[in-house]
Structure 1
Amino acid sequence: MAYSKETKQHAKQLFEQGKPIAVIASRIGCDEKTVRNWISKYNWRGDGIPAEHPTIPNRSEATALVRKKHQYIWEQYEKLIWDSEHQVRRNKRDVIQKLANEFFVRPVTVRKIIAKKQAQR
């Protein structure tokens, strides 16, 4: 099903307001996977990682992209694990699951990234 530009713009506004993907999908009337695809395709996260990677001619550029993504996941983990407004530490498992869903990876991948970053400290 094709969605109008206005529908996608409304979804983007909700995303920028921090609404969960499930809420955005229900308000728009589409599947959660569609919203995830838009987030990735149109780079709503603003992480500088293009959704459609160009053909990467050498391995070092591919490695740089992966490192950039891992660094971004680590920064998000650090930000999410500590709720400064309520001064409480969030449940690590919930944060890992949220990041895994957000970045379309398995939770074990997020745990490996976190372990690697913590070992580098």
Structure 2
Amino acid sequence: MIISDNNGDVVDLDSVVKQFNNIRPTGVNANEIRAVLSKNGIENTATTNLTPNQLKALGSNNIPSIVAITAGGQGHFIVVDSYKQIDGVGYYMIRDPYNGPAGIRADFLYSKMTGNGVTLK
């Protein structure tokens, strides 16, 4: 599968997946994502205490983040691209590997965040 990032750079997903050292049935963690991004020249920082306020600041400045959430009783990562407020309600534009791009309410996302994530620079 070929995917492209926000800059239009094309990435071969199979080659990226092979860079992870032993993907477990439960997936990968934020530090493993950080390492693969770094190998590919993408500056980033992994965190275990990403707060809603930090995510809002990043999203308001259109700085992408990879955020760990709970989904179906398990962990899951999504990409958060931006934050906007419409009629007093906060929304995030996200990319979800399961469901694709979507807009979701900020309060819903905050209730699902685990605190783990990777911020891109």
TM-score (norm 2): 0.28
Structure with a larger share of its residues in helix: 1
Greater strand share, structure number: 2
TM-score (norm 1): 0.28
